[in-house]
Amino acid sequence: MFQNLQAQVAVKFNTGMSFSKPGGDLGNVTTKGKAMQLFAEGEVSYHQNFSKNTKFGIRGGVVLGQDYANFLANDRSTELKVAVTSYKARVYPFAYSGDLEDGLEQVLPGKLPLMIEIPVYIGIYSAFNSLHFDYGTASGKILETAYVDEVNFQDATVKRTMKYIGWGFQPQIFQSESKKWNANAVFDFGKYSWTNANGGTSSFKSNHVGFGLQYNF
């Protein structure tokens, strides 16, 4: 099955807004701060067709990302400014290396009632070259500083090694005639977690909304 396989390398850059929510021990002492923070990530991926007679396959990649979050102490005296550099492995289980419309035509079921056809089309479209699962590690820096001028607080910084687990959709919204360039939307959902100095566990959810651009070699 895997003889004479065709492969494709691509690079992608995504950016947009990140929305975070604290959890674990962190969630017990803080709440949401500034709602929108910037995120950016670069991805190098490798598409592997299942055989030489098909463009269907699986895509795997590595992702380097930069994420930010902001939380307020429950008493609003201090805030936490979080900066995270992440290193992730990413898998797209439903990948197609050709024109997306051609791939959709091959898998979309035939004549369906309109009210069924629309959600089926949306579901399949959302999965193609879009649905992905992430797992990785991250280096996080957490700065606690005064939230209001009236509070006399000495800034404190801690660094933590974090674990990341996530998934999401990055549906294609444009493809050039040459098939070299793709543009995509980003709807990603993930969580960073780590062990505190006291042995407890903290985490925060990090959800992304944005856009990306991919070049296919």
Sketch out the chain's domains with CATH numbers: 7-216 (2.40.160.20)
Per-residue pLDDT of the chain (217 residues; tens, 9 = 90+): 444 445 689 999 999 999 999 999 999 999 999 989 999 999 999 998 888 888 888 999 999 999 999 999 999 999 999 999 999 999 999 988 877 777 777 777 767 777 777 887 888 888 888 999 999 999 999 999 999 876 688 899 999 999 999 999 999 999 888 889 999 999 999 999 999 988 999 999 999 999 999 999 8
Cα 10 from Cα 13, distance rounded (Å): 10
Give the pTM: 0.89
Q: What pLDDT shows up at residue 37?
A: 96
CA gap 108, 129 in Å, rounded: 15
